[in-house]
Amino acid sequence: MTELPLIGEAVAVAAEPRLAGARIGVVTFPGTLDDRDAARAVRLAGATAVELWHGDTGLGDVDAVVIPGGFSYGDYLRAGAIARFAPLMSRIIDAANSDAKLPVLGICNGFQILTESHLLPGSMIKNDHLKFLCRDQVLRVENTNTAWTLDYQAGQEITIPLKNQDGQYIADEKTLDALEAEGRVVFRYVGFNPNGSRRDIAGISNAAGNVVGLMPHPEHAVEPGFGPESLDGIGGSDTDGLGFFTSVLNKIVGGDK
């Protein structure tokens, strides 16, 4: 029988010595829920997780940033609308748009914040069924040329947990056509569209590929025995989400494709 790590014991299952110096910032807003999980995923991938507070005025010496899920500022006004104006977000926007192109991953509420910040186009609204939904969701990887998807294969189907009530991605037809033409649809829902997102879009990137946002939660699929299994024979394993974090580490150390 395979021995599993105890809960709370973050063992780097994919670490390499060359990745050990990478520092990934994980942002916490009032109402953030998944910062601990995201930090754990970073450590499991082999990097150092750096706590970042929404009121910070600097990013410190981080190589990438994860904006995790939750309900920042209680989702008042709109999900992510207030968080967009946090002091730290100004630094993240500048760094993502700079020549250095800081890698930024927005997960669920983080995706909502990225659209509100105009780092990604479009917007997030209530699920078309108007209910909160929590399920394991199959995604197809459409773009492997972003900082966060280098370790996947084009067309690969992975299973990632999803939990949201404002998960419907919308944009005008011109924007959607541009995303498709430029290969900026990074993930698409397979088998079931859980929230009515246009064209089954689950995640997108900016033009440079350093900024990625998606609604499902890869940080909840990083450990053997503690993640989703394949659904109806499709999708992958319970560690399908770990590739997000190893991808960005390989990008940082210059091992990208």
Q: What radius of gyration, in Å, describes the C-alpha atoms of the chain?
A: 17
The number of helix segments (H) and strand segments (E) in the chain equals: 5, 11
Catalytic site positions: 108, 217, 219
Residues belonging to the chain: 257
DSSP string, 71-126: -GGGG-SSTTTTGGGSHHHHHHHHHHHSTT---EEEETHHHHHHHHTTSSSSEEE-
104-107 and 211-214: which strand pairing? parallel
* CA separation for the pair 248, 180 (Å, rounded): 23
